[in-house]
Amino acid sequence: MTTVMEIKDLCKTYVVDKRQINVLKNVNLKVDEGEMVAIMGPSGSGKSTLLYSISGMDQATSGKVRFDGTDITEVKENELAEIRLDKMGFIFQQMFMMKNLTILDNILLPAFESKKGGSREEKIRKGEDLMRKLGIIDIADNDINEVSGGQLQRACICRSMINSPKILFADEPTGALNRTTSNEVMDELVKLNRGGTTIMMVTHDSRIASRCTRVLFIVDGNIKGEFNNDPDADDRTRERALNNWLMDLGW
């Protein structure tokens, strides 16, 4: 299986009031093409910092992050920005969108910023196709304050996929949603993963993590354990097995 991302000895240190805080400590990790990896751990354990550091949204203090053949810790900021735009997709708990644009126009923003892809018309058609697949084509011309949270998060998924990224990063993508809507959004992410999209997500919810192929448990900046979900088990069995594993780790 092809390795999409390889992290070696990754460290992230902050200095607060002249005191050094080591948030990530020599993290080593490989992510293969087509995986759906969940990152779990207590508050303050370094989950989001890890996600931001390996995606280039935050600069690591030391270590290597090799993504799609490039060490992104060594490239210049303009090249890194192009990599994030063209090869990575991002979904966050807070659904950031431009208030003065329609849902479709928000989805199309990264496509219009990118130098790759087809004509403007082809990009619009792709955006509409993504909305159709996620069942939100009927809100294409709506403003962002005219749709539900679940619809808006689906739109964020469409935006993250508009440039056909090699990997999708998600930071608590269901954290602001109720249980039913969370399930619906996860259904869409699972479909994307089964279609070949590699996904890494931070979540505190074992129910959400149990739908991923692999779960990493991070404590105090170190990966303390790794759990592989049974792809043939039903959702309830997978969640129970994951919860038992997390309990053994002191969750």
SS3 73: coil
Average pLDDT over the chain reads 93
Instruction: Give 178-185 contacts, CB < 8 A, sequence gap 24+.
Output: 181/148, 181/149, 181/150, 181/153, 182/208, 184/150, 185/150, 185/153, 185/154, 185/157
- The tens digit of pLDDT for each residue in 208-241 reads 999 999 999 999 999 999 999 998 999 999 999 9
- Answer positive or negative: Cα dihedral of 28, 84, 159, 46: positive
SS3 138: helix
Domain harbouring 212, CATH code: 3.40.50.300
Largest Cα span, the chain: 53
What's the pLDDT at 234?
93
What's the pLDDT at 203?
95
pLDDT class of 21 with cuts at 50, 70, 90: confident
Cα angle: 3, vertex 25, 215; to 5 degrees: 50
Q: Which domain holds residue 39?
A: 3-248
Q: Quickly tell me which residue has 């607060």 as its tokens.
A: 16
Residue 117 has pLDDT above 80, yes or no: no
pLDDT class of 177 with cuts at 50, 70, 90: confident
Helix axes 103-113, 149-161, angle to 10 degrees: 20
Report the relative pairing of strands 198-202 and 167-171 from DSSP bridges. Answer: parallel
Q: Quickly tell me which residue has 């659904």 as its tokens.
A: 95
- The tens digit of pLDDT for each residue in 32-47 reads 999 999 999 998 899 9
The mean per-residue pLDDT over the stretch 4-17 comes to 93
Helix axes 120-133, 103-113, angle to 10 degrees: 130
Q: Count the domains in the chain.
A: 1
DSSP secondary structure of 140-198? TTSBGGGS-HHHHHHHHHHHHHTT--SEEEEESTTTTS-HHHHHHHHHHHHHHHHTT-E
pLDDT class of 156 with cuts at 50, 70, 90: very high
d(CA 181, CA 188): 11
